[in-house]
Amino acid sequence: MINPMELIDRTIMVTGASSGIGRETAILLSQLGARLILIGRNAEQLNKTLASLEGTAHHVYTFDLSNIDEIPRWMKEVTSASGPLHGLVHSAGLQFTRPLRIMSSENIEELMRVNVTAAIFLAKAFRQKGVSADSGSIVYLSSVMGLVGQSGQSAYSASKGALVTLTKSLALELSRENIRVNCVAPAMVTTEMSGKMLELLTPEQVLQIEAMHPLGLGRPRDVANAIAFLLADTGRWITGTTLVLDGGYTAH
């Protein structure tokens, strides 16, 4: 039986693999045959993800992506042990709600450093000789907040919108090196992080959010499926695009 999304003999790095969408993506990719390099800051949670993977030859590395300038050298060291990468999924990121009246420059700088600057340096590291295979695929995790606005989300929206346009520019620049660059933009997905946020809201506010998703809230596997599609040969002719996964959120 032909499986066009098969990832056998491919090595893929997933940042933010300790929970949520990153964890579910790693699990699905392992089920498709990939070797995983799991990246995060929490070793205990990363090892929980590792225990859920199928197959062998997976690796776990703790690394803080806010150490921007260390990313290229660090990725060289990682791939010298694991072999070149066929794919990179940047799922790690920060999210918070901050009305403009209490926004600080530190809030913005912290958000941009992990969500945007780290994304750029991961691509810079990925294109290094010996780090990526003869062809490669990068998938960023953006958000519908990068496409539409919402009160209290200005800095977060700016960071996720930056990923959308970053994807387009990198897709053009890295096409000559046979590296594809895409991103996915999910709406509300039921994860531990979103669950904690919903707990702070009234039942009426939760119902309002759910009503904005005609197909209901998403699940991590919904996003993982799209990421796998872009990494596999099913995405061979796709680059510079943003795949919106929102249950109809942006159809309003």
3-state secondary structure 12-64: EEEECCCCHHHHHHHHHHHHCCCEEEEEECCHHHHHHHHHHCCCCCCEEEECC
The upper half-sphere exposure of residue 199, i.e. CA atoms within 13 Å in the direction of its Cβ, equals 6
Is residue 3 situated within a structural domain?
no
Is residue 162 situated within a structural domain?
yes
pLDDT band at 220 (very low <50, low <70, confident <90, very high): very high
**136, containing H or E segment:** strand 132-141
8-state DSSP, 223: H
Is residue 155 situated within a structural domain?
yes
The CATH number of the domain where 36 resides is what? 3.40.50.720
Catalytic-labelled residue, pool 61, 140, 156, 249: 156
Of 27-36, 86-95, 101-110, 111-120, minimum mean pLDDT range: 101-110
- 199, 209 contact by CB (below 8 A): no
| Alpha carbons 122 and 101: distance in angstroms, whole number | 33
156 is catalytic: yes
Is residue 212 situated within a structural domain?
no
What pTM did the predictor assign?
0.93
**How many domains does the structure of the chain reveal?**
1
| Alpha carbons 241 and 243: distance in angstroms, whole number | 6
Write down the mean pLDDT value for the chain: 92
Q: What is the mean pLDDT of residues 12-22?
A: 96
Instruction: State pLDDT tens for residues 46-99.
Output: 999 999 999 989 999 999 999 999 999 999 999 999 999 999 999 998 777 776
Is residue 62 situated within a structural domain?
yes
Structural domain containing residue 84: 11-189+219-244
State phi, psi for 203 to the nearest 5 degrees.
Answer: -55, -35
Q: Among all chains, which residue has been given the structure tokens 């340096």?
A: 121
Give pLDDT, residue 29: 98
Is residue 207 situated within a structural domain?
no
Is residue 49 situated within a structural domain?
yes
Is residue 76 situated within a structural domain?
yes
pLDDT band at 196 (very low <50, low <70, confident <90, very high): low
